[in-house]
Amino acid sequence: MIGPLRLVRDLRRAVDLTARRLRGDYEEDEWGFDPAFAATADPLLRFLYDRWWRVTATGTEHVPRAGRALLVANHAGVLPWDATMMATALRRGGLDRDPRFLVLDWAFGLPWASVAIRRCGGVPASPYNALRLLEQDHLVMAFPEGAKGVGKPYGERYRLQRFGRGGFVELALRTGAPIVPVAVVGSEEIYPKLGELPLVGRLIGAPYVPITPTFPLLGPLGAIPLPSRWRIAFGEPIAFADLGPEAAEDRALVLELSEEIRDRIQAMVLANVIERPGAFR
């Protein structure tokens, strides 16, 4: 008896939820983040986390439970799956926060993708957006390698690219937010980039169009990432509060700190590559 009753109740709840959605009666914050929409991706993300990429996460306790913080991670893998897995790892680690992530501006000109990214908590990677998010005490994920990171060739997959001009350090200094260095290992193997199609890229305005073993050979199926084994390591937070916001004006200091953090993440990446049993095992 209980079974059918529960089914009826669940069904009624689903219908109710849909009706409220259609009336526009749902939450959405000023950034366009839509918690209910983001939750619908959960089952897929859980599957990818547990079964597909068999993620091992360490150091989630280093991420502040409340207040502003900037997560700075290496970036690889053509599509930003690393951000979603970092968020899932934090949720698993008992962190009840919705991290926001800075996404390459270019993605916001794309149909559908732009909408999905924004509803899940992505914002265009502009310093103004990051500043406002941190001032609102959000947890912000940044990938200073940017497009150069996701587009690096397979042979250099574990070598971090230049960290831009250190803009993320400037933000941390200005807002007093601690930086949590993060190393993601495994995203490098999900779309092994063998080459590029620069002409096609220029044609559609994309930063680059990769050639992988499955793309463009298998068409849209090429978007299915390979099932590599992942490790995500959250390092100890680095606090800048004692330096004060004026330090953000000091170019030399900003570049030095940026280099230091890059080195630390590079070391964390290599340590986790060694600790991992194998890329696909």
Residues of the shown chain interacting with another protein in the complex, contacts defined by CB under 8 A? 21-26, 28-32, 34, 105-106, 108-112, 114-115, 118, 123-124, 126, 128-129, 132
Residue closer to another protein by CB (options 115, 197) is 115
Surface-to-core class of residue 115, CB atoms within 10 Å of its CB (0-12 exposed, 13-18 middle, 19+ buried): middle
Q: Tokens standing for 150? A: 């996701």
- Residue 103 CB, shortest distance to another protein, in Å, is 10
Question: Between the CA atoms of 208, 190, 145 and 115, what dihedral angle is there, to the nearest 10 degrees?
Answer: 70
- Residue 19 CB, shortest distance to another protein, in Å, is 11
- Residue 164 CB, shortest distance to another protein, in Å, is 16
Residue closer to another protein by CB (options 83, 182) is 83
Residue closer to another protein by CB (options 49, 168) is 168
Residue closer to another protein by CB (options 120, 265) is 120
- Residue 200 CB, shortest distance to another protein, in Å, is 18
- Residue 101 CB, shortest distance to another protein, in Å, is 13
> Where is 243: in which H helix or E strand?
none
H-helix segments, the chain = 2-22, 35-40, 42-47, 81-92, 113-119, 127-135, 146-150, 167-175, 198-204, 251-275
Residue closer to another protein by CB (options 23, 281) is 23
Alpha-carbon distance of 3 to 149, in angstroms, equals 50
